Structure formats: C-alpha cells, structure tokens
Amino acid sequence: MQFGGKRALVTGASRNLGVAICERLAVGGMSVAVNYHTAQAPAEDLAARLREATGRPQLAIQGDVTDADSVRRMVEIAEDGLGGHIDVLVNNAGPYGMTPFVQMDEAEWDTVWDANVKAAYLVSRQVIPAMREAGWGRIVNLSAVSAWVRNRSIYGLAKSAIITLTEELAVEAAPEVTVNAVAPGQILESLDDLGEFSAEWAEKVTARTPAGRLVTRGELAEIVYLLTTPAFAMVTGATIPVDGGLRLPRF
C-alpha cells in the first residue's frame, strides 16, 4: 500500500528509530519532514537520501518541539517545503532518563517530560486543525513498554502519560483524525545506549522477553506505517505494545 501525495512530519528523526520511521513512510509514498533539534548533518543527509531514492520532496527542519513558537515555525516550514498541510504526524521525540525521583533534579524532570509529553501536545495541537479541515489525518505517538514498569522513574511516567494523551486526542480529533500509540519494548539496535545503566541489561531483557528476541527498528517502523493505512481506519485511541511480551507480568 502506498500513499502518493501524503505529507508526514516525524519529530526527533535524525537518528535511531526516527530514521527507520522516515525511511518507511517515504518508501510508502509520502513526502517526509525530518525534524531535528541539534543534529543537523544527519537529518539533512537522511532527507537527501530519501529525495534521491523517491524523487519526491523530503526535507530536514530544525525545531525545538518543547517550544510552541519553534513548533509553529517548524510546521509552517514543513507545509511550505512539502507543498501542503501535514497529513501524518509521528511524535517520536523522547529522551530517556531513569534517575530515582528522590535523587532527580528538576532539570532532568523537565527535559524528559517536556520532550516526551509536552512536545506531543504542542505538535499535535499545531497540525490537527488542518487535518480536520481536510477531512483526514493520522497521528502516531511513541510510548514505550516502560509505561507498564514501575522502576523507570520519569521516563515511565512520561510514556504512561503518552498513552492517556493518545486516548484524549483520539476523542477530541475524531472523526477526521485517528490518534494511536506504539509502545516498543527494548529495541535490539539500541542496546548499546543502555550500557551506562546496566552492563547485564541485554542478557536480562532478552531472557525476560517471551518471544526470545528483541524488537527491531524496522519492525517498529512497519507498525507505525501500517497505522496510517486504510487497514487501520477504525483503530483510534489504541496503544499497541510491540515488545515480544516483555511487559507481561510473570511469577
């Protein structure tokens, strides 16, 4: 299935899962705005690669998704560069942090909360009116399996809030716009990023995953893409765990 002419904006898209999502949406026929905060070169390289591969407009846009003025400017640039309003929004930005609450300083709370939750609210608020006016729109938020785990501190709290925000926006933006969330388990390609938290993490998390392996970025990007297709037109307000069963309690 391909969506010729659809325009997508993916936040926090200069690296890791964001790159995979941009690639999948572009392959699916969309023109993609690759949002970055500070990593300009990787974002511009990605956009150039997507333009060459698809022959369609693809662009990199700087923007601080925790700031309303920056979000407004970012969306305007995306609309001008892609030739129309945003049809598909993927709220992918979301830094990690798991310092225990009693040890956490206020700056870490603000960083993790704002980039995960406030950002999803600000960017969604900016694009939903045009989606509704056009009669069609898709928003996919990135939660995480940490939403169901009770030792992930501010990150778990933020990803749990994303689930509630997804449900609230699904009600508010209906019927023209569907709003769903994807909740990844531990991503295989991101294991190295968690080495600072636990040297044994890879072995432990794989052992705790009933599927016997970890989810990949490509698998997650495919789910994000599918949520924008006609097959999921009647799915809204849902959070889809893609974790190989990692979240399931066991005794």
Band of residue 197 on the pLDDT scale cut at 50, 70, 90: low
* 228-247: pLDDT as tens digits: 999 999 999 999 999 999 99
Q: Quote the tokens at residue 64.
A: 């601080």
Residues in the chain: 251
**pLDDT value at residue 199:** 64
Tell me whether residue 121 is one of the annotated catalytic residues.
no
Give the predicted TM-score (pTM) of the model. 0.96
Beta partners for residue 250, in sequence order: none
**pLDDT value at residue 143:** 98
Instruction: Reply yes or no on whether the pLDDT at 217 is more than 80.
Output: yes
Band of residue 216 on the pLDDT scale cut at 50, 70, 90: very high
**pLDDT value at residue 251:** 79
Lowest mean pLDDT among 78-82, 95-99, 143-147, 217-221: 95-99
**pLDDT value at residue 2:** 57
**Mean pLDDT, residues 169-177 taken together:** 98
The domain spans of the chain are 7-234
Tokens 């009647």 label which residue? 234
- Cα angle, residue 223 at apex, residues 218 and 224 outer, rounded to 5°: 95
State how far Cα 247 lies from the chain centre: 19
What is the dotted CATH code of the domain comprising 7-234? Answer: 3.40.50.720
186 within 8 A of 211, measured Cβ to Cβ: no
- Indicate which residue of 36, 96, 155, 225 is catalytic: 155
* 106-155: pLDDT as tens digits: 999 999 999 999 999 999 999 999 999 999 999 999 999 999 999 999 99
**pLDDT value at residue 65:** 98
- Cα angle, residue 30 at apex, residues 62 and 116 outer, rounded to 5°: 45
Q: Specify burial of residue 122 (Cβ count, 10 A radius: 0-12, 13-18, 19+).
A: buried
Question: What is the DSSP secondary-structure string of the chain?
Answer: ---TT-EEEESS-SSHHHHHHHHHHHHTT-EEEEEESS-HHHHHHHHHHHHHHHSS--EEEE--TTSHHHHHHHHHHHHHHHTS--SEEEE---------TTT--HHHHHHHHIIIIIHHHHHHHHHHHHHHHHT-EEEEEE--GGGG-TTSHHHHHHHHHHHHHHHHHHHHHTTTEEEEEEEE--BGGGGGGGTTT-TTHHHHHHHT-TTSS-B-HHHHHHHHHHTTSGGGTT--S-EEEESTTTTS---
